């Protein structure tokens, strides 16, 4: 459903922190519109210390009518921008008719980046901001403002978008048939246990979408029609662990108290749990993406997390053992992360972000 006009005047700016000087100049040009209440301007420097920054970014993207991209080599090299910001931005452009507005800051591979080059840049890639005069730079920013103003005047919010995967509806219809023909359900503990892959595997976004549809996992960005796995949780061992009778998996109830910056730190934490025999067990490990997604709920709990409230709220997102597989193959520094704050999963670069552990066995 398209958003109302009052909700669609948000302008989102995506940029690499290396290019912060260009963000500052752009905001100067947009200030009159912001002062008059014509736009609600958002960039990540709006985030306050202690905030759930990943959730704030996703919410800002979801509201965006216009997204200005300050594109440079640093922008295209950012794992977070490419894997966490761009997919939901492209979704908003497709489903909500948001305008994607590239501004070429410096020479880069913009024209070779298919997902971005389909959008008309304000300035030609042959004339990046750093290669033109001060007056020409200012003219580019004036043109950005003009495009934003024109976009906000458009009344295209009634456009309907088509589902991009027809098999999703077929799967949903098949599930409904099974529900109608199956006998009344017995208590979960009497059902056959549902098992998930436990061996790590490199996964692309296309591959995980197929998994989510098959498993009926909920993900706000990738498969928001999913219902989520039907868990049957029980807290055990004096509150240290949560056993899921539906999957047979035993989970650490809390997790690491710090976000780790590399796989060595993550694995060291797991080894520490095993050396201390948490809850009497020494076979703890990182979950696969499938296992971690089995915790994802389709609605938020009291702590505004898409996970059962039996789990500790500090671990807002958790790392999995599955490496991210991008265009150039599996990444040695990026793995799939399940983000309960956003109700979605994404790839994460340890160097930029860091991640929490929640062990499973």
297-317 tens-digit pLDDT: 999 998 899 999 999 998 888
Domain assignment present for residue 263? The answer is yes
Query: By mean pLDDT, which of 8-22, 104-118, 268-282, 324-338 is the weakest?
Result: 324-338
Per-residue model confidence (pLDDT) at position 60: 85
Measured in residues, the chain has a length of 361
Domain assignment present for residue 172? The answer is no
Total count of domains within the chain: 2
Q: How far, in Å, CA of 350 to CA of 347, rounded?
A: 10
Is residue 161 over pLDDT 70?
no
Residue 138 belongs to domain with CATH number: 3.40.50.10140
**Could you tell me what percent of the chain has a pLDDT over 70?**
80
Query: Each residue of 77-92: b (16+ CB within 10 Å) or e?
Result: ebbbbbbbbbbbbbbb
Domain span at residue 321 reads 179-349
Q: How confident is the model at residue 78 (pLDDT cuts 50, 70, 90)?
A: very high
Domain assignment present for residue 166? The answer is no
Q: How confident is the model at residue 5 (pLDDT cuts 50, 70, 90)?
A: very low
Give per-residue pLDDT as tens, 91-101. Answer: 988 888 889 99
Give per-residue pLDDT as tens, 244-281. Answer: 999 999 999 998 876 665 677 888 889 999 999 999 99
Fill in the DSSP letter of residue 260. Answer: B
Which residue bears the tokens 């956003």? 342
> Quick one: average pLDDT of 6-24?
85
Query: By mean pLDDT, which of 19-28, 71-80, 144-153, 213-222 is the weakest?
Result: 144-153
Are 11 and 138 in a shared domain? Answer: yes
Contacts 24+ apart (CB under 8 A), 18-23: 18/72, 18/74, 19/70, 19/72, 19/74, 19/75, 19/105, 19/106, 22/70, 22/103, 22/105, 22/129, 23/70
Are 206 and 262 in a shared domain? Answer: yes
Mean pLDDT, the chain, rounded, equals: 83
Per-residue model confidence (pLDDT) at position 135: 96
Burial of 187 (0-12, 13-18, 19+ CB in 10 A): exposed
Assessment of whether the complete model's pTM goes beyond 0.85: no
Are 106 and 223 in a shared domain? Answer: no
């Amino acid at each position: 459903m398209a958003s109302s006009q009052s909700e669609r005047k948000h302008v989102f700016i995506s940029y690499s922190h290396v290019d912060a000087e260009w963000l500052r100049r752009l905001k100067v040009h947009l200030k009159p519109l912001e002062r008059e209440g014509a736009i609600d301007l958002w960039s990540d420097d709006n985030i306050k210390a202690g905030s759930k920054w990943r959730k704030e970014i996703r919410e800002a993207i979801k509201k965006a009518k216009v997204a200005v991209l300050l594109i440079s080599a640093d922008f295209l090299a950012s794992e977070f921008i490419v894997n966490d910001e761009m997919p939901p931005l492209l979704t908003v452009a497709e489903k909500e008719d948001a305008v994607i507005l590239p501004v070429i800051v410096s020479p880069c591979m913009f024209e070779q980046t298919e997902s971005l080059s389909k959008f008309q840049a304000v300035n030609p890639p042959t004339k990046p901001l750093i290669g033109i005069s001060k007056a020409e730079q200012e003219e580019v920013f004036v043109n950005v403002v003009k495009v934003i103003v024109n976009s906000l005047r458009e009344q295209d919010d009634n456009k309907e978008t088509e589902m991009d995967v027809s098999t999703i509806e077929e799967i949903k219809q098949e599930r409904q048939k099974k529900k109608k023909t199956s006998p009344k359900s017995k208590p979960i503990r009497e059902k056959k246990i549902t098992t998930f892959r436990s061996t790590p595997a490199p996964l692309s976004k296309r591959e995980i979408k197929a998994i989510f549809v098959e498993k009926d996992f909920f993900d706000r960005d990738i498969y928001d029609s999913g219902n989520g796995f039907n868990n049957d949780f029980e807290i055990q061992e004096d509150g240290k662990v949560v056993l899921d009778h539906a999957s047979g998996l035993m989970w650490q109830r809390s997790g690491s108290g710090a976000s780790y910056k590399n796989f060595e730190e993550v694995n060291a934490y797991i080894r520490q749990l095993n050396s201390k025999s948490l809850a009497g067990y020494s076979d703890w490990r990182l979950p696969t993406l499938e296992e971690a997604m089995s915790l994802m709920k389709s609605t938020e709990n009291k702590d505004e997390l898409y996970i059962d409230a039996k789990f500790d709220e500090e671990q807002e997102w958790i790392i999995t053992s599955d490496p991210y597989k991008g265009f150039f193959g599996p990444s040695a520094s990026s793995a799939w992360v399940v983000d309960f704050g956003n109700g979605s999963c994404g790839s994460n670069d340890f160097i930029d972000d860091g991640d929490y552990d929640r062990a499973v066995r």
